[in-house]
Amino acid sequence: MRVLSGIQPSGKLHIGNFFGAMRQHLQLQAEHKCFYFIADYHALTSNPVPDDVAGLTLGVAMDYIALGLDIEKTIFWRQSDVPEVTELTWLLSCVTPMGLLQRCTSYKDKVAQGLSPNHGLFAYPVLQAADILIYRSDLVPVGADQKQHIEVTRDIAIRFNNVYGEIFTVPREHIIESVAIVPGIDGRKMSKSYGNTIEIFEPEASVRKKIMKVVTDSLPVEEPKDPDKCSVFALLKLVASSDELCEWENKYRAGGLGYGQAKKRLAELMIDYFKPYRQKRAELENNMDYVKEVLANGAERAKSVAGETLEKARQAVGLRR
């Protein structure tokens, strides 16, 4: 199966990104042909500082490589290095109903959050569809809350195929059932937009400091506590062994536990979890030519696939006869 996914360079990657998606991406490499890209075109919908786009893109690349991306087996590139996707976006736009885009919940949610709407934000699903369809993707790994993105892509592909013939593979979503909803230090879902993240590779002292600030309830030490309602316990689930997790659950329910104890242990486990990858990440920071070479090579491999698909679409709509 051909698997495709992208991640925006909209900030430094955090443990929510890792446990929510990146870890699954890396696991899928063992069984599938994976196409992973850094979605810098998509990041432009929020009008970021230009220098930030370039720097964060390289940061995402270093994170993925350090965490175990197989650059020989997996095709990994920067989205904007394959401009064929923007031409395909236009071809797909011409068969995409306005109503389909108006129903997209992600657009409505972002506007409700106060983001100033622009055409890029509104038309985002068409570019996303082009990303998926141009590489003839079979599966797209997503959480259950992102299923609509793939439904929109399927709808666009089917509409195009009905008008112009069977050009595109109609993809399926690969729902990551075990995807972790990672709480941030304020208890809400960890997100750069909330400013509540713990970065994957931030300094260890900073990781400890942030974990000690994770919001908890105000129950006294002697009171029993519900682990299922505690952000600290939710984070422990990500990095503790099953035996240790069981011990912590018993301590919570028995009473006599201060949250500070759990936070200190969580900090140790979180730092130890990512410690094997820190040296590789530091090495990459001192070898940016290698990182850029990885992205350039990935782009060439991606372009060979994208070019074939785009040419078929051009011929189908009458641009090449």
Please state which of the ranges 16-30, 149-163, 169-183 shows the lowest mean pLDDT.
Answer: 169-183
Grade residue 180 by pLDDT with cuts at 50, 70 and 90: low
Q: Is the pLDDT score of 303 beyond 80?
A: yes
| Statement: residue 179 has pLDDT above 70 | no
Per the residue annotation, which of 33, 192, 251, 312 is the catalytic one?
192
Q: Are 36 and 218 in contact (CB under 8 A)?
A: no
Distance of CA 174 to the CA centre of its chain: 14
Choosing from 12, 33, 147, 189, which is the catalytic residue? 189
Active site residue 303: no
Check 33, 73, 108, 110 and give the catalytic one.
110
| Structure confidence by residue, pLDDT tens digits, 254-301 | 999 999 999 999 999 999 999 999 999 999 999 999 999 999 999 999
Q: What pLDDT band is residue 193 in, cutting at 50, 70 and 90?
A: confident
Length of the chain: 321
% of the chain with per-residue pLDDT over 90: 85
Whether residue 53 has pLDDT greater than 60: yes
pTM here is 0.91
Q: If DSSP codes are grouped into helix, strand and coil, which group holds residue 117?
A: coil
> Mean pLDDT in the chain?
94
Phi, psi of 86 (to 5 degrees): -75, -35
Contact between residue 4 and residue 132 where contact means Cβ atoms under 8 Å apart: yes
pLDDT at 178 over 70: no
Cβ-based neighbour number of residue 229 at 10 Å:
12
Q: What is the pLDDT of residue 167?
A: 97
Number of H helices, E strands in the chain: 14, 5
229 assigned to active site: no
Domains and CATH numbers, the chain: 2-181+288-317 (3.40.50.620), 192-282 (1.10.240.10)
Q: What is the pLDDT of residues 199-251, one digit of tens each?
A: 999 999 999 999 999 999 999 999 999 999 999 999 999 999 999 999 999 99
Q: Catalytic residue at 192?
A: yes
- What angle (nearest 5°) sits at the alpha carbon of residue 261, between those of residues 258 and 266? 130
